[in-house]
């Protein structure tokens, strides 16, 4: 029985470590060698207002939560401008059918000619829209966003490594408790320390070299996000009121202070 537990521990360790190394190598190959200077990138005509970090609101949303977060931000932005009405039942209704930029126009197109649509359907339509893809492509070109080819490899692989460390520990405990009375299980337990050292060591290396394990932002992208140092729980930037659009972009719908807007996004599956 002890050999079976040992086999399980080693299998989980080898598989998870191999997947993490593969994901890290794929990310290194897919990312550009160095972020291009902001001046070398074609300006976004729809991004007149940029944060001090040099990122637009849409770019911050994408780097923090991907295209779904960007969709939530543009819907709330248009609701605050009184162009949309977001009901707490999860429906979006057009009030003013005029978009001021490509993403707002894409949101209106996603809602459709009837002027009303369920928010999850609007969000899904926006995710595949060309305006949102242009935001993603621009960030990938600058080396700030993870290429689609490597998402969400590193984060998932790190979770597997942590899981295999737990599997190894549980396997060692099970081996100890199932050992025959009077049997010396010390020698067998020593073999469990090797996979445990491998998983914990690789986890520590990943924490130092690859953290944060974002599915959307690269390390350079995380550093550009305002009021964060790799943590989604960082305080707001100076002068940024709690529940603002920047806070929504960085942390998601739970950061909204308006209960009706928060209910609209949560009731729609956000």
The rounded distance, in Å, linking the Cα atoms of 130 and 137 is 10
**189 & 230 share domain:** no
Average of pLDDT values for 168-180? Answer: 83
In angstroms, the Cα distances linking 15 to 140, 158, 199 are 29, 12, 10
**116 & 244 share domain:** yes
**135 & 162 share domain:** no
**138 & 159 share domain:** no
pLDDT tens per residue across span 104-146: 999 999 999 999 999 999 999 998 899 999 999 999 888 888 7
The rounded distance, in Å, linking the Cα atoms of 33 and 19 is 23
Has residue 220 been placed in a domain? no
For residue 239, the Cα-to-chain-centroid distance in whole angstroms is 25
Q: Which candidate, 260, 30, 24, 6, places its Cα nearest to that of 149?
A: 30
**54 & 75 share domain:** yes
The least confident of 52-56, 95-99, 163-167, 209-213 is 209-213
What domain count does the chain have?
A: 2
**55 & 118 share domain:** yes
The predicted pLDDT at position 172 comes to: 86
Has residue 126 been placed in a domain? yes
**102 & 83 share domain:** yes
pLDDT tens per residue across span 49-83: 555 557 899 999 999 888 999 999 999 999 989 99
**166 & 84 share domain:** no
The predicted pLDDT at position 210 comes to: 59
User: What is the residue-averaged pLDDT of the chain?
Assistant: 78
The rounded distance, in Å, linking the Cα atoms of 266 and 248 is 13
Has residue 205 been placed in a domain? yes
Is pLDDT at 47 greater than 70 in this prediction? no
**78 & 196 share domain:** no
Has residue 104 been placed in a domain? yes
Average of pLDDT values for 28-57? Answer: 53
Phi first, then psi: what are they for 119, rounded to 5°?
A: -60, -40
**75 & 139 share domain:** yes
**232 & 119 share domain:** yes
Is pLDDT at 230 greater than 80 in this prediction? no
Has residue 130 been placed in a domain? yes
Has residue 38 been placed in a domain? no
Contacts of 96 (CB under 8 A, 6+ apart): 81, 82, 83
The rounded distance, in Å, linking the Cα atoms of 165 and 184 is 24
Is pLDDT at 92 greater than 90 in this prediction? yes
pTM over 0.75, yes/no = no
Q: Which element (helix H / strand E) includes 225?
A: none
Confidence class of residue 184 from pLDDT cuts 50, 70 and 90? low
Alpha carbon dihedral 186, 187, 192, 196, in 10-degree steps, equals: 80
The least confident of 166-180, 191-205, 234-248 is 234-248
Has residue 214 been placed in a domain? no
Identify the domain containing residue 189 by its residue range.
2-31+152-209
**87 & 203 share domain:** no
Has residue 221 been placed in a domain? no
The rounded distance, in Å, linking the Cα atoms of 200 and 192 is 12
Is pLDDT at 101 greater than 70 in this prediction? yes
């Amino acid at each position: 029985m002890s050999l079976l537990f040992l086999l399980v521990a080693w299998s989980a360790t080898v598989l998870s470590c191999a997947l993490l190394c593969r994901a890290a190598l794929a990310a290194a190959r897919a990312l550009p060698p160095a972020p291009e200077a902001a001046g070398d990138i074609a300006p976004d005509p729809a991004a007149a207002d940029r944060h001090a970090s040099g990122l637009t609101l849409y770019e911050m949303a994408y780097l923090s939560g991907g295209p779904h977060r960007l969709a939530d931000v543009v819907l709330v932005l248009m609701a605050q401008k009184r162009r949309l009405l977001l009901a707490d039942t999860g429906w979006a209704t057009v009030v003013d059918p005029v978009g001021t930029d490509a993403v707002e126009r894409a949101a209106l197109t996603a809602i459709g000619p009837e002027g009303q649509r369920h928010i999850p359907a609007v969000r899904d339509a926006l995710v595949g829209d060309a305006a949102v893809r242009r935001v993603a492509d621009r960030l990938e070109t600058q080396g700030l966003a993870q290429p689609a080819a490597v998402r969400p490899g590193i984060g998932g692989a790190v979770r597997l490594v942590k899981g295999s460390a737990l599997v190894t520990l549980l396997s060692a405990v099970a081996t100890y408790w199932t050992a025959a009375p009077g049997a010396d299980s010390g020698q067998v337990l020593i073999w469990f320390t090797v996979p445990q050292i491998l998983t914990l060591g690789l986890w520590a290396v990943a924490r130092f070299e690859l953290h944060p394990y974002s599915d959307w932002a690269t390390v350079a992208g995380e550093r550009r996000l305002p009021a964060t140092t790799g943590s989604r729980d960082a305080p707001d930037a100076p002068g940024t009121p709690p529940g603002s659009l920047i806070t929504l972009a960085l942390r998601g719908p739970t950061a909204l202070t308006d209960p009706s807007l928060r209910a609209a996004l949560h009731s729609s599956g956000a």
